[in-house]
Amino acid sequence: MSDFRTRPVTVPSVRAAKRRLGHLPLVMVTAYDAPGGRIAEAAGVDLILVGDSVANNVLGYEDTLQVTVGDMAHHTAAVARTRPLALLVADLPWMSYHLDPADTVRNAAVLIRAGAKAVKLEGGRTRLPMISALVDTEIPVMGHLGLTPQSVNVMGGHRVQGREAAAAERLVEDARAIADAGCFALVIEGVPAALATLLTDELDVPTIGIGAGPGCDGQVLVLHDLLGLNQWAPKFVRRYGNLEVEATEAVTAFAADVRSGAFPGDAESYH
């Protein structure tokens, strides 16, 4: 999809981006603020996800269940102000789409008005009425199956899903159902690589994997994980930077310069 970088990436262009049709793998990263949005855009990613993982990566919560629609709108607006060409997708947080379709649409509209071009929600067939309501109100929706972090308490932790045949079959049925209901792409998280490949072959919309092996139509990572801003990261993360260490060294050097009188110098002073 790198040919999209001269003009905005759109929902239809993502929907069509199946690797089996010759498309390059889709690239998605999270961003939660303007610097993150600028970095992702400058790197030429196809999609920027304002994930509810802002909870763990920025706000210091243990899980994603703590963030609200207001929190998500706040962070979505910050990324949207950078006016990325990448498609900006915002996560619907826990309990913003679980009760009824009208509530779901109202909450999604808050994120769209904050600058998102699409929303993402977690879950399978139980979400069909909400997905249909979003599609009916012209709000593009991305699905998210497998290890769905908002289900952390039901799953008993962040565990790989779909290892047993019955669970894998349920995932395939869920994927077919939400794709048929109108999801334009599906995030597949934390499932065996063979299952993710099967899902990718089954579906006409692209799959974007995270901890789901190389067989998907695209890959997503959390920006803070790939930059090395988190001390711990799951097995599926590849670190492309070590920014926490670099940032700590920079602040340590600043502190030492202040204490020794080396900062500010003449060049950093007004005359």
Active-site residue list: 189
Kindly state the smallest distance separating residue 16's Cβ from ligand KIV, in Å: 21
Scanning the structure block, which residue is given the tokens 């502190």?
255
Tell me which residues touch ligand KIV (CB under 6 A).
30, 49, 51-53, 91, 144, 187, 189, 210, 220, 222
How far apart (Å, rounded) are the C-alpha atoms in residues 12 and 69? 26
The nearer residue to ligand KIV, 11 or 250, going by C-beta atoms, is 11
Kindly state the smallest distance separating residue 157's Cβ from ligand KIV, in Å: 15
The nearer residue to ligand KIV, 69 or 220, going by C-beta atoms, is 220
The nearer residue to ligand KIV, 101 or 209, going by C-beta atoms, is 209
Cβ-closest position to ligand KIV: 51
The nearer residue to ligand KIV, 30 or 161, going by C-beta atoms, is 30
Kindly state the smallest distance separating residue 64's Cβ from ligand KIV, in Å: 6
Kindly state the smallest distance separating residue 49's Cβ from ligand KIV, in Å: 6
CB within 8 Å of 164: residues ≥ 6 apart: none
Kindly state the smallest distance separating residue 142's Cβ from ligand KIV, in Å: 9
